[in-house]
A and B are shown apart, each in its own frame.
Chain A
């Protein structure tokens, strides 16, 4: 089991200083606070949560796009928390949310994809480079002539394909997909989701799939982690998590999904949470979910619940699991 892990995150903490506060006491945002999980080779691990819960930060910290405040990131058995990342950049890549903002408007698609090939010196000469670019574009369903065009000439779905081709250029093993379909039209989202699945089959990729859309995450992932205010609150196989969730936050998240089925929609009993997500600058003491939790007691304010295994391969952090029904 153990040697199957490709990525492991141990007690990851990622804090950011914020301007403001008093002169001597700088404020910090604990964007990710003590998060641990692992991702197996060839697996898709989904990370869901509301905006500001730290899911994107987690993804970026794994790639060392942020320098982790503390904790360890272990990639393929090696602790990469403090090493030179260049050799690892070839093995781990990212696809960003907004295909409009993440492609340089002044570069042709060929150069965007080719840049990675140049940096890592993956092509011996120009014709080899061109061949590789064409190969990558066809892999994501674009054709040769697209290489000479600029990003503005493409639709959102096509741009996201370019972003994926760019990530694939270095032949990575692991890709962080950071909300890769949120900015796309509904009719295009399924195309891109299917492409991610096909590429995984073809190239044996491992994904960290970050999204706020639980239905999509459930569809594509083997296991899912749910985050709330910088903490993992529940983690389980995707089937288990959607059908037998135990944490009150996951429950409300699932009940809030707007199902595209009128009968089901009429019959769902929604669990409404009180209020809004508290500010991460000043998170509640104890369990961070307690301010919105229908089961919260005094204990929750004092003591932080432990993230423990409630049934095989199913973890959750809550004091009142027995009461949540």
Chain B
């Protein structure tokens, strides 16, 4: 094997709902190196969260992993038992969620919830764990940690709660932190604070981060690499600069054009992506973005394009990049 911290190969995960099979992950391959920040960008239902959850073995019923291999830090997630997974979660990999209010337990104090993780994964005594919790609160920039430890989640503001979530996630110094829309529920000024804190802690503790978001602004200033997902597929992946300055997939281009820039001089019309998001119960055959793509060709509606490598780090799945292949197939069909 290679020495990537995370290695997802051809993962397929489906939700078997009463209405039919939803292919949440449709042949997803991704990797994360140690100490790297990977951004996963996509809209709701694109499979960005499911990708990350599957890494922690959090694929609850009716979701089922039906293909592919997931490797993390030397573990083969597919064959791990629940017991082994539990040992790994919170210790080697942790997660912070979008809404810090619903992910903290309202009936336990902050101190209780931080020490719980420490007591579970280390053989520290209660007193030592409490001391560690105090350190952690200081680390995430919370004033008066002594007092905060005795408070309940409802006594803290949204930004403060998210800091507590980060403290809990970092309690055992994990190798990988998964941040699922960590700033979406927060106010603009607090968003920037929390992102800054995460990047700061990354430098100090050297962990890798998977940052899941729908906001291109969040990934622009924080990530080393970005994967763009659409309808359960990674449609483009590259370094942050490659994605922003030389996007190659029509969906990525569309996303970049559809957000207004505050520094624009004249008032330009926004260029929206037409159409509606994919119905995941009845996804189109071929490229899932084809029905909304303005350069859609015949083949796009029939067949999913393979990846084209644009550089060592940049690849994208679009027939336009595959003109040669496309023309050849056209000849074969005609002749």
Contact = CB atoms under 8 A, between A and B. Distances in A.
- The binding surface of chain A is classed by DSSP as helix
Interface stretch (A27-35, A109-117, A212-220, A313-321): A212-220
A162 interface: no
B244 A212 contact: no
Given A186-B258, A190-B258, A197-B269, A258 B217 contact: yes
Contact of A262 (B187, B220, B267): B220
A258 B276 contact: no
B182 to A, nearest CB: 12
B277 A260 contact: no
* Max chain B C-beta neighbours (<10 A), residue from A214, A253, A257, A262: A262
A49 to B, nearest CB: 9
A155 B278 CA distance: 10
Interface in B268-298: 269-274, 276-277, 292
B3 interface: no
A215 B258 contact: no
B196 interface: yes
B330 interface: no
Contact of A273 (B189, B259, B270): B189
Nearest to B44: A185
A218 B260 contact: yes
A259 B241 contact: no
B328 to A, nearest CB: 32
A254 B262 contact: yes
B157 interface: yes
A264 interface: yes
Nearest to B223: A262
A158 interface: yes
Contacts of B44: 185
B193 A272 contact: yes
B63 to A, nearest CB: 22
A264 B263 CA distance: 10
B255 interface: yes
Main secondary structure of the interface of B (DSSP, over half): helix
B262 A218 contact: yes
A213 B260 CA distance: 10
Contacts of A259: 217, 220-221, 261-263
Contacts of A272: 192-193, 196
B215 interface: yes
Sort chain A's interface into a size bin: 35 or more
A193 B258 CA distance: 10
B244 A262 contact: yes
B159 interface: yes
A50 B190 CA distance: 10
Interface in A211-246: 212-216, 218-219, 242
Contacts of A214: 188, 262
Nearest to B258: A190
Nearest to B239: A262
Contacts of B160: 276
A144 B244 CA distance: 40
B74 to A, nearest CB: 32
Nearest to B245: A262
A242, A260, A265, A277: residue with the most chain B Cβ atoms closer than 10 Å: A260
A194 B270 CA distance: 7
A10 interface: no
A258 B272 contact: no
A281 B241 CA distance: 45
A11 interface: no
A139 interface: no
Contact of B215 (A158, A186, A266): A186
Interface of A: 50-51, 155, 157-158, 185-191, 193-194, 197, 212-216, 218-219, 242, 252-262, 264-266, 268, 270, 272-273, 276-277
Interface of B: 43-44, 157-160, 187-193, 195-196, 214-218, 220-221, 240-241, 244-245, 251, 254-264, 267, 269-274, 276-277, 292
Given A186-B255, A187-B277, 12 more contacts: A155-B276, A186-B216, A194-B272, A219-B260, A256-B189, A260-B216, A260-B217, A261-B261, A262-B240, A262-B241, A266-B221, A268-B221
